[in-house]
Every structure is written in structure tokens, then in C-alpha cells.
Amino acid sequence: MDRNQPKSAPWRTKIDPGTVKVALGMTLHNNVKYLRAAVKSLQHQTHGDFGLVLVDDQSSDATETIGRRYERKDDRIRYFRNKRRLGMTETWRRAFWLARKTYPNAKYFSWISDHDIWSPTWLATMLHVLDSEDEILLVYPYTQKITPSGKTFSYIEPTYFDTAGMPDLRDRWRHMCAHLIGAGNMVYGLFRAESLERAGVFRNVIMPDRLLMAELTIQGQFQQVPEVLWKRRDLAVSSVGRQRRTLFGERRPPLTAYLPWYVVHAGVLVLLNSFTRPGAARLGFWRLVSMAGRYLWAQMFRLCRKSYWKWRKLFRARRRGRRVRNNQSQ
């Protein structure tokens, strides 16, 4: 038997796409080694009424074969393959729009990675929060890192960020600018689909997850569930250079990818949100300029502080090394 073939699971053979409440979008690219475990953890959710679109960004391994098998065996799953390599940004956007098209009445949406593992109660817990708290537009759990082989790290990743109970935009914005951490985890939470659409889904910029959290902060509140319901496989370290290689696929990175990302974010916050945000949610131009200025200053301060502690640690390490060598030579 093919080891990559989907094993027995609680298959759902009949669902009505028009009644699906939760749409999930899993992006795929050459992670066939972990794909079966990721999909299996979703199939065994205690809340099984969802739709899942698999969007394959031109994988060269057996991902397509396995994805099509899942599509045949589980009526909740649809498989799509990009005609060319689009990169992370466009593939994430396509996953969202395909999910919206396939499940047009879904109120909630979540991006899903092709290599992580979700607790059986993940979806039910996230859904309960959004159903009971109208002011919350994003809910996500604590994160537990695991190694590529699946071994659990001895600590829970200390990325705690929550704006629940902050109805005032000024309070939320100050808190987000000063304390936002773990945007790469938050982006895998459960969103209100309409809020995500109003925020531009996933902008074509460096650090798009941080910009998305900033734009969503304008609309409403985030809640973090104090429970580990997601195990994230630690496969690669994120960096600006790596994002330039992975976000844009076969396309050349736009010129904005070579500018400081926090400057680009500030420009997007002002130029796009001042003209595209409808109705009561639309903010004045100069208020957005003020908010973008605070965001820009906060990100620059955070990066400078990070560089300071990095160089201070390096300087102390070198000084200790010199002392050891001097003691050895005496």
C-alpha cells in the first residue's frame, strides 16, 4: 500500500456547499511528507461541518496525486492546482477567493498550512468564540512548536497578543503598535470572512501578515484562546530575504519589496484605507496619517531595540572570549 495514501478517516460523502459555515484554505508546495498528518487532523475535528480547498502551487512531488485522492474520498475537500508558480502571496489570496467561490455562504475562513497539526477541538473552540462574541473578528489559540520529526518542544511559544475588551480604536491601535507579536501565528487563526476581505486579504508586500493584523485592528478585536490547539512544525526561519524569494513566485519582486517594509506598510495604511474603507468604518485621511505615523515609529523602535540587544550580546560574548584566552595564556 502506498504510504502516502490517505488512511481511514471519517469521510463525509454528502455536503451542500451552500450551507457550509466555515471555509478552510490549505496552500500546498512540496510538503508531501507532512500533508497526510495535516489533513487527517482536520478530518478528525469534532466540528466536522466545514469545506476545505487545497491549492497546490506547482508542487513537484506527489502532492497532486494525494490531493486528488482526498478530493475523491472526502466530499468536503476540493483540490486546485496553479497553472504556474505564483508564490505564497498570490496562492494565499487564491485560496481565500476559491474558498469564497466554492462555499459562498461561509461566514468564517482560516488559512491552513500543509505541514502542521490541529487539535480535534480546534475548530469547535474557535467557532464558539466567533459565534458568541460579535465584536471579535479573529480568534486563534496558543501555539506549540514541534520539530520536523514531530517531537514537541519543551515550551509553549511565548507569543501572547489579545485586544479583546478594547472597543475603542485608539486603545487597540496603541496596543497593537507597541505589543504586536506572533503575526505569523495569528494569520492561521479563524477570521470573519467579510472582515478579511475588507482588509485586502493578503497584500503584495513584505511582512504581509503584520500589515494584515494592522488593517484588521482598525475593524475590530482579536481574541487568543489560552489553550494549545495548534502544533506548528518548525521548518524554516523567516527573514526579509527569504520572503523576497518565496512570496512572489516566478515574478520579480516589486520595487516595494526592497524598501523598508514598515515604510511600505505605513503607506498602504494611509493610501488604501482612506479611499477603500466603506461606510462608517471609513476613517479620515489625517487620522490615518497619524495612525500610520505611530505604526511606523513603533516598528522602527522595535527593530532598533532588537539590533541593540543583538549587538550587546555579541559584544559581551567576544569580551568573555578574550578574557578566557587571556587567562589561558597566563
User: For 29-76, how does the pLDDT look when each residue is reduced to its tens digit (9 = 90+)?
Assistant: 999 999 999 999 999 999 999 999 999 999 999 999 999 999 999 999
For residues 217 and 137, the answer to whether their CB atoms sit within 8 Å is: no
pTM: 0.88
For residues 134 and 127, the answer to whether their CB atoms sit within 8 Å is: no
* Secondary structure (3-state) at 63: helix
Decide yes or no: CATH 3.40.50.1970 for domain 17-258: no
Q: What is the mean pLDDT of the chain?
A: 89
Q: Locate the domains of the chain by residue range.
A: 17-258
Confidence category of residue 10, pLDDT binned at 50, 70, 90: low
DSSP letter (8 states) at residue 149: T
Confidence category of residue 3, pLDDT binned at 50, 70, 90: very low
As a whole number, mean pLDDT of residues 161-167 equals 96
Beta strands in the chain (DSSP E): 22-28, 51-56, 77-81, 108-112, 117-118, 136-146, 152-156, 190-192, 221-233
Residue position matching grid coordinates 455536503: 15
Q: Examine the pLDDT at 5 and tell me if it is beyond 50.
A: no
Q: What are phi and psi of 28, to 5 degrees?
A: -120, 140
Q: Examine the pLDDT at 101 and tell me if it is beyond 80.
A: yes
Residue scoring higher pLDDT (14 or 258): 258
As a whole number, mean pLDDT of residues 172-201 equals 95
pLDDT of residue 276: 58
For residues 24 and 51, the answer to whether their CB atoms sit within 8 Å is: yes
Q: Examine the pLDDT at 13 and tell me if it is beyond 70.
A: no
